[in-house]
Structure 1
Amino acid sequence: METKELLKKVREIEIKTRGLTKQVFSGEYHSAFKGKGMTFSDVKNYQYGDDVRNIDWNVTARFNEPFVKVFEEERELSVFLVLDLSESINYGTRVKSKKELMLEVAAVLAFSAVANNDKIGAIFISNSVEKYIPPNKGRMHALMILRELILFKPEKEGTNIKEGLRYFRNVVKKRSICFLISDFYDETDFFEGLKIANSKHDMVAIRLFDYAEKELPKLGLIKMFDAESKKKRWVNTNSKKVREKYRMQFNDNEKQLVIKFRKAGVDYASLSTDGKYLAALNRLFLTRSR
């Protein structure tokens, strides 16, 4: 992609998503993520209405009267985008591809962070970690991440979210908000690593999918290609039985993901390439705000 074309695309994404950020997500972002990290500040005498769970028993025993811990909100946060950019993310049959959807979601999150004076960083993964962008503040840094995302092409085949999470845990020491964005076509078991990461950070999982991955269109006998495994096979898409099996596999997979994310204590949203992702993303933010 030529520089002029790249800059134009980045500018279009910025204009579109910054408007969405202001109108829809600014307040929700702040209430959903600000204050999730709290640091100990001081102690004070217990007063009626204070949370008894915050009683400092050591100080209480020393002075023989109740004291409670006082916490301060961590005002400055780092937001990380762990982005699965394996080959399957390029698939799309509706309004946009999964990668184009990822770009828009990443832009909304990045500009939300910028608007709230938070740092934003990113990790690009495929079968391994391929790029790490340290967190920094400001519009120009957010735009740089988006440019890198537009131009990025994985060097390795396959998906290994487990390795991406391991890298994130090892590199990022300060408590951060981390959005794991993927279609989750990964044969490795990454949920234990996700649970560990969530014990140290505020993890949020976002699944991207295309409608044709859920409902197989009637196109007759076609050769289907698996972008992850590189395998090809002929499929009779006119067969009602085949289409029903296809739908059931998608739904079963979605149910399993919901169960596993819930067990890991991670908030989860599923976004479609049909262009109607804003409502689902907004629901995720509103749910966390309660």
Structure 2
Amino acid sequence: MSGRWSYGPEGPTLGELTPEQALRHLELIFRRRPDGMLQGELPGLTPGPGTEPDETRAYVPGADDVRRMDWSATARTGEPHVRLTLADRELTTWIVLDATASMDFGTARMEKRDLAVGAAAAVAFLTERAGNRLGAQLVRQDGVQRIPPLPGQAHLLRVLQTALQRPRGAPGPMPCTLAQALTALRRAERRPGLVAVISDYLDGDWQQPLRALARRHQVLAVEVVDPRELELPAVGLLTVVDPETGRLREVPTYARGLRERYADAALAQRAEIKTAIRAAGAAHLRLRTDRDWVRDIVHYVAAQRRRAGGAA
């Protein structure tokens, strides 16, 4: 598989496709997923109609369904017993997608925004099961766009189609941050579920909201990185712009000492991000714009299943 949006080595990037083409391509990639990746079924927390076995108790005539009869317990005790089950509970998956100005950057195969949408598609398609619901919080230039969770393939495709839209606001102060989006989701969604937070995590105020969210939900933090954020090329005097504020700065990349200090600072920053995500109790997946992102996701899921004792 290729890290580009088509399987050929010279295939188009997401930004070169129309939203309809990109959506179709994402669907084709993840409809071919190995069965069992990112399973979405969760056992219920209270007894009720379902499939997961729970405790056994004495049969109550007229109140219990004879189809629930536990013949092993009946034979062992000499009295009729029924087997209770745990209520089945669908999984609610939330995608918190950072689509702020800092994500409109990429020097390799794609922009960080494109890779973030790809990661969102992976989570959406790989958790799709009958009864499961998908919702989203898209952190955009003008605030957070909330898409309520609903089941069904048509809704899943609508969520991804909305994420593919690329409104470009003028650089300036952000009215809403990733931290505020996480806090709003924690307050609104009380039912435990899966939350995938996809961002470059360059906004430094997200640690505490992420920790609070992970107390109730299973959280997967997907960190999106471009190689130029890790090291500077020697290209002479480079003019850079802060996409969030529009501020310009000239960087003398011909200075070896400056490039080394930049690389050291970037490495330390990424280490801090990783430590903060782990400290919050969230799982961590780092994706890069210069790597085969589909293969990295597959390897990550396989590793998680092995740790859980499941087959890869």
| TM-score (normalizing by structure 1) | 0.79
> How many matched pairs?
255
Corresponding residue for residue 121 of structure 1: 135
**1:173 and 2:190 aligned:** yes
Q: Is the 1:192–1:264 contact (alpha carbons within 8 Å) kept by the matching residues of 2?
A: yes
1:227-242 pair list within 5 angstroms: 227-242=243-258
Shift in alpha-carbon separation, 1:178–1:221, aligned structure 2, 3 A:
same
Give the residue type in structure 2 aligned to 1:214: L
Give the residue type in structure 1 aligned to 2:161: R
Corresponding residue for residue 37 of structure 2: 28
Unaligned runs of 5+ in 2: 1-16, 48-53, 58-83
Unaligned runs of 5+ in 1: 46-69
Deviations 1:153-205 (A, max 9, x none): 265743622101111012212111000000011032x2222111111111110
Give the residue type in structure 1 aligned to 2:45: T
CA RMSD of aligned residues (A): 2.5
- More displaced stretch, 275-284 vs 159-168: 275-284
Give, in whole Å, the separation in 2 of the partners of 1:128 and 1:7: 24
Shift in alpha-carbon separation, 1:254–1:71, aligned structure 2, 3 A:
farther
Give, in whole Å, the separation in 1 of the partners of 2:87 and 2:242: 46
* Partner of residue 91 from structure 1, selected from 97, 100, 105: 105
Q: Is the 1:130–1:154 contact (alpha carbons within 8 Å) kept by the matching residues of 2?
A: no
Q: Is the 1:18–1:108 contact (alpha carbons within 8 Å) kept by the matching residues of 2?
A: no
**1:13 and 2:26 aligned:** yes
* Partner of residue 78 from structure 1, selected from 86, 92, 102: 92
Q: Is the 2:30–2:126 contact (alpha carbons within 8 Å) kept by the matching residues of 1?
A: no
- More displaced stretch, 131-140 vs 150-159: 150-159
Give, in whole Å, the separation in 1 of the partners of 2:87 and 2:238: 56
* Partner of residue 200 from structure 2, selected from 183, 187, 207: 183
Give the residue type in structure 2 aligned to 1:76: E
* Partner of residue 151 from structure 1, selected from 152, 162, 165: 165
Q: Is the 2:95–2:135 contact (alpha carbons within 8 Å) kept by the matching residues of 1?
A: yes
Q: Is the 1:211–1:272 contact (alpha carbons within 8 Å) kept by the matching residues of 2?
A: yes
SS, match of residue 217 in structure 1:
coil
Shift in alpha-carbon separation, 1:154–1:125, aligned structure 2, 3 A:
farther
Shift in alpha-carbon separation, 1:154–1:166, aligned structure 2, 3 A:
farther
Give the residue type in structure 2 aligned to 1:12: H
1:1-290 pair list within 5 angstroms: 5-19=18-32, 22-23=33-34, 26-30=35-39, 34-35=41-42, 38-41=44-47, 43-44=55-56, 72=86, 74-115=88-129, 117-126=131-140, 129-153=143-167, 157-158=173-174, 160-188=177-205, 190-289=206-305, 290=308
Give the residue type in structure 2 aligned to 1:27: G
Give the residue type in structure 2 aligned to 1:194: L
Deviations 1:203-226 (A, max 9, x none): 110100111111211211111111
Shift in alpha-carbon separation, 1:278–1:13, aligned structure 2, 3 A:
closer
More helix by share: 1
Give the residue type in structure 2 aligned to 1:202: Q
Corresponding residue for residue 63 of structure 2: none
Shift in alpha-carbon separation, 1:223–1:11, aligned structure 2, 3 A:
same
Identity %: 23
| TM-score (normalizing by structure 2) | 0.74
